[in-house]
Amino acid sequence: MPAPIDRASAHAWTALVLTALAGAVDGAGFLALGQQFVANQTGNAVLLAVAVSGEVTGRGDGLSAVGPLWSLAGFALGAVAASLATRRHVLTSFGVPVLLVAEVVLLASAGLAGSAEPAIGLAAVAMGVQSIHAARIGLAGVTTTVLTGTLIALSVNLSGSREDLRSARLQAGVWAVYLAGAGLGSVLAHEVSFSAVCWSAAGVAALMAAAGFVEDRRLRSRA
């Protein structure tokens, strides 16, 4: 009986940490990579549309479509690849910890990239993989890279039942840690570098992957 409670709690903490990582990488990327989003693809789509409309009308304000295209393509590639892998049960079940290993490699690679476009693309691939990780966890109304849906779910749950209010606490926490992560990532990118943010995020993801494998092994031994 205690295992489902442990698992739910672990998933909630995983969602919070992943959201903080997404916020940190997004904040750092926006500051250090020419004001590009690598996690928040809604904002990235707006940047792409503004850049394209500026090119078409000849009234551009210096925005380029190159960065947003790298980000969108990378995010989609990471999400599709991670979705296919987990759908075919190639990876382990609990929290899909192997996806975190992939995220570690991708974030570290983004930190080593020598120019902005590859860094944007690799970080976006990592965020696409992370989004599938969050989806496989299956917490209703919670994502780690898109917060508009989480805000809508939070608004609905605030007027709901006691169970809904418990979900609202997690959703509010997701918003809080994303903002905190974005602020911290921006400061670190300004004071050190975007690479430092990527390597720090990769280190945290590596610890989470190790914890996920340990928990997966513990649950399998109980089965």
pLDDT for 51 beyond 50: yes
pLDDT for 188 beyond 80: yes
Closest CA to 120 of 184, 70, 195, 65: 70
- Reported as a single tens digit per residue, the pLDDT across 193-210 is 999 999 999 999 999 888
- Reported as a single tens digit per residue, the pLDDT across 150-164 is 788 888 888 777 777
Say which DSSP state 141 is in: T
Contacts of 122 (CB under 8 A, 6+ apart): 74, 106, 107, 109, 110, 113
Q: Compute the 3-state secondary structure of the chain and give helix, strand, coil in percent, each to the nearest 5.
A: 80, 0, 20
- Reported as a single tens digit per residue, the pLDDT across 86-131 is 876 555 444 467 888 899 999 999 999 878 999 999 999 999 999 8
pLDDT of 177 reads: 93
Q: Which amino acid is at 205?
A: A
Across the chain, mean pLDDT equals 84
Cα 82 to Cα 148: distance, rounded to the nearest angstrom: 23
Q: Which CB contacts under 8 angstroms, 24+ apart, belong to 185-190?
A: 185/23, 185/24, 185/25, 185/26, 185/27, 185/28, 186/27, 186/28, 186/30, 186/31, 188/24, 188/28, 189/27, 189/28, 189/29, 189/31, 189/32, 190/31, 190/32
pLDDT of 77 reads: 96
- Please, are residues 26 and 42 in contact by the beta-carbon 8 Å criterion? no
Say which DSSP state 159 is in: T
What is the length of the chain?
223
Beta strand residue intervals within the chain, DSSP E: none
Q: 35 in helix, strand or coil?
A: coil
pLDDT of 39 reads: 92
Domain limits, the chain: 2-222
Please give the average per-residue pLDDT across 79-85, as a whole number: 89
pLDDT for 175 beyond 80: yes
pLDDT of 4 reads: 45
| Residue whose tokens read 């990532």 | 185
Please give the average per-residue pLDDT across 2-22, as a whole number: 75
Closest CA to 130 of 44, 35, 15: 15
Cα 171 to Cα 59: distance, rounded to the nearest angstrom: 40
- Please, are residues 95 and 215 in contact by the beta-carbon 8 Å criterion? yes
